[in-house]
Amino acid sequence: MKAQYVYTQHSIIFPTDAYAYAKEHDMSKPSIGMVGLGRMGANMARRLHLKGMNVIAYNRHAQKAQDLAQETGMRAASSLEDLVKQLPAPRVIWLMLPAGEATQEHIDQLLPLLGKGDILVNGANALYEDSMAQAAKVEAAGLHYVDAGVSGGVWGLQEGYALMVGGSQEAVTQVTPFLKALAPGENQGWLHCGPVGSGHFVKMVHNGIEYGMMQALAEGFAILQAKTEFNLDLANVAEMWRYGSVVRSWLLDLTADTLHKDQVLADIAPVVADSGEGLWTAQAALAMKIPAPVITLALQMRWASQGKDDYAAKLLAMMRNQFGGHAVQKED
């Protein structure tokens, strides 16, 4: 009898008999190795497993893979060598690791272990040019390389992930069953964008747009919040905008949820991190002479929130003091 799974907000509660259920699964179904079991990687592995894929999980800290296997019934690998041995050829290995050194290190370790026709999928938030360079090395060894931009965050397990992939038609065709399982629908939410590099390029621009949309929402609600004489209920405003308004979006949904819980945000530090894609998008726009002021300014506002405009602001205050005698506030 098929096991029943219970969704919570950000995860799925697996039944206690999950391991026995998985043992009875048809292991002739598509097999995939998932390397990197952070928040995204672990939930992607869970979703693939729920969709009936044969998932072998690996993490540098082996206990993470063992814990995930115990929770879900999927199999764990104790090493990259063990992972490769458990996968049928042609092997598909999906890397969900931090971009840069961590991803490159795992690729270098895997190349001698894999055979001709095997596929490496890089799901990191990587610079598309780095992916193209990695692909050249991987393909020279007779393997396929697919760059996959993944969006969905903590909600992807339940709602599905948006997937932007680049690579040869042959390679993408072989990973299509996994794309369909991860996406919100078999023919929705995933796209073969073009050759290697195109997936991460599209994801880069996607995240740049996200910077601009988030900044606009944040600024708008700051203006509403500052108009104190109207005593606006920001949660109700956000909730109303969710229906019929041209600004309705998933980001607005999340904003409404946040404001329903807490409109003051007194315990939240005004610091917004940037993960790189906004900068890469702005740099690409400059290189191609494409005006992108909204994305660029949204990126710079994130830097400002990190204190990177503090010295400039201090100097501006002193300039006003010098030419106009305006008072300068002292730090506590």
Would you name the residues annotated as active-site residues? Answer: 203, 210
Query: Are 199 and 146 a contacting pair, CB within 8 Å?
Result: yes
Return the structure tokens found at 229: 């004489």
Residues in contact with 63: Cβ distance below 8 Å, sequence separation at least 6, in sequence order: none
- The distance in angstroms from the start CA to the end CA of the chain is 66
What's the chain's length in residues?
332
Please give the Cα distance from 251 to 213 (Å, whole number).
Answer: 8
C-alpha dihedral sign at 236, 239, 244, 246:
positive
For 52: left if phi > 0, alpha if psi spans -120 to 50, otherwise beta; the answer is left
* Cα-based distances in Å from 216 to 150, 221, 252, 264, 271: 23, 9, 11, 19, 16
- Measuring CA to CA, which residue among 206, 218, 203 is closest to residue 298? 218
Burial class of residue 158 (count of CB atoms within 10 Å of its CB; 0-12, 13-18, 19+): middle
Please give the Cα distance from 207 to 69 (Å, whole number).
Answer: 32
Query: Are 53 and 28 a contacting pair, CB within 8 Å?
Result: no
Rounded (10°) angle between helices 198-226 and 234-241: 130
